[in-house]
Homo-oligomer: A and B are copies of this chain.
Amino acid sequence: MDEFRRAADTVMTKYGPASLQYSTTEGHPPLREWIAARSHIPASNVQITTGSQQALDLLGKILISEGDTVLVEAPSYLGALQSFQPYLPNYAEMPTDEGGIDVDALEGLLRAGNVKLLYAIPNFQNPTGRTLSLERRRRLVELTAQHGVLVIEDDPYGDLRFSGEPITSLYGLGLELWGDVDQNHVIYCSSFSKTLVPGLRDAWVQAAAPIIGKLIQAKQGADLHTPTLNQMMITELLPLLPTQIEKVKRAYGERAAIMMDAMDRLFPAGAQHTTPQGGMFLWVTLPQGIDTAKMLPHAVERQVAYVPGSPFYARGGGENTMRLSYSCSTPEQIERGVQALADTIRESLD
């Protein structure tokens, strides 16, 4: 809190009234430059957005026409489905396994034709916590390039890896493939919400110039620009980011391990969970026949909550699944929560 108070004071002193005035739609130049430098691309290929949610909304607006086929993971991020829905896409689901998207199945879907867009979260996916392997990433990038399909890579959690080695982003592989930032068919979205601060609503898109051009137009109509003061505060706080990321990673890694250990000890046989290497979520699959939406009130009675899995499937199904988050709970809360959940599941099984 002290650092944030200081940052607010510093930028208002440094920039004066400009920190409270209208500013450019593209975003605060030093912030765009910092983001661009991370990926070795020009700042003109970066668009600041009011949270990642706005990035998804604007991309939906400029890319999806009614009836366009959009490929999404089964399951996928609910918020993305909500963002795209007003533009009336036709969702086709990519099957997934422990290694993420099944790229053989993807090839079949692309061959069936008429696909406009692929939306994926390769790192510590929301809701499953799974990560797409380098080999599968390469195939995904090549296949979509061959079929002229745009890719939206949503990567809010990429910096929060607490085990295993970092894997090149789809965006990075797209750059390698094309050798030209303005040819890349992969559009990259990330955010400061999971690493630094969610309530200031600061995120970004990296994309080829023609897409950025359309995004600027769409953002002008959507909110003119992301709040000026907030972008300046984030920029001022960037030196804190590495320490902050280390802190978050350590905490999440410990909590994930505690939650998985508790589930392995306490859950009934037939309840399976994913093994995230980073991020905030893991995904539980219960025996067929259990409906996690119907089970939720019973869990809440025992003081534990989760997100039922079915709404994460664009075309329905997954009634026996649920998303758990370990990000905000203490070890004691996690132990008690998993115990309460295990009791609830056993009760449902009986």
**What residues on B are CB-neighbors of A51 within 8 Å?**
223-224
Within 8 Å CB of A56, what residues of B? Answer: 221
CB distance from A265 to the nearest CB of B (A): 32
Which of B12, B21, B199 has a CB less than 8 Å from the CB of A229?
B199
Q: Which residue of B lies closest to A233 (CB)?
A: B229
Given contacts A5-B12, A12-B5, contact A199 B220 (CB under 8 A): no
Whether A16 is near chain B, meaning CB under 8 Å from some CB there, is yes
Q: A7-34, CB under 8 A of B: which get 1 and which 0?
A: 0110011001101111100000000000
Residue of B1, B21, B79 near A221 (CB, 8 A) is B79
Contact B8 A12 (CB under 8 A): yes
Interface flags, A51-84, vs B, CB<8A=1, else 0? 1011011000100001000000000000100110
Q: How many copies does the complex hold?
A: 2
Residues of A within 8 A of B (CB): 1, 4-5, 8-9, 12-13, 16-17, 19-23, 50-51, 53-54, 56-57, 61, 66, 79, 82-83, 85-86, 197-201, 217-218, 220-230
Contact indicator B227/A201 (Cβ below 8 Å): yes
Min CB distance, A31 to chain B, in Å?
14
Binding site secondary structure of chain A:
helix
Determine if A199 and B53 form an interchain contact, defined as CB atoms under 8 angstroms apart: no
13 contacts between A and B (CB under 8 A): A9-B9, A19-B199, A21-B198, A23-B199, A51-B223, A51-B224, A53-B220, A56-B221, A61-B86, A82-B217, A83-B222, A200-B228, A227-B230
Q: Which 3 interchain pairs have the tightest Cβ spacing?
A: A199-B228, A8-B8, A82-B221
User: How far, in angstroms, from A225 to B199 measured CA to CA in the complex?
Assistant: 9
A56 to B333, CA, bound (A): 43
CA distance A163 to B225 in the complex (A): 32
Give min CB distance, A253 to chain B, whole Å. Answer: 22
Query: A85, B221: Cβ atoms under 8 Å?
Result: yes
Q: A285 to B88, alpha carbons, bound, how many Å?
A: 43
Q: Are A86 and B53 in contact (CB under 8 A)?
A: no
| Pair A22/B198 contact, Cβ less than 8 Å | yes
Shortest CB-to-CB span from A242 to chain B, Å, is 19
- Chain B residues, CB < 8 A from A19: 199
Residues on B with beta carbons closer than 8 Å to the beta carbon of A54: 222-223
Residues in B with CB closer than 8 Å to A53 are 220-224
- Cβ of B221 and Cβ of A86 under 8 Å apart? yes
Answer whether A86 and B198 are a contact pair too, CB < 8 Å, given A1-B12, A12-B1. no
Q: How far is the CA of A169 from the CA of B294 in the complex (A)?
A: 47
Given A22-B199, A201-B225, 17 extra CB contacts under 8 A: A1-B20, A5-B13, A20-B199, A20-B200, A21-B199, A22-B198, A50-B201, A53-B224, A57-B222, A57-B223, A86-B221, A199-B228, A200-B228, A201-B226, A227-B227, A227-B230, A229-B230
Instruction: State whether B5 touches A221 (Cβ < 8 A).
Output: no
Q: Which one of A12, A50, A51 has the greatest number of beta carbons of chain B within 10 Å?
A: A50
What distance in Å separates the Cβ of A172 from its nearest Cβ neighbour in chain B? 27
Using CB atoms, name the residue of chain B closest to A57: B222
* In the complex, chain B residues whose CB is within 8 Å of the CB of A198: 20-22
Separation of A17 and B198 alpha carbons in the complex (Å): 10
- Contacting residue for A20 out of B197, B220, B225, B228, CB 8 A: B197
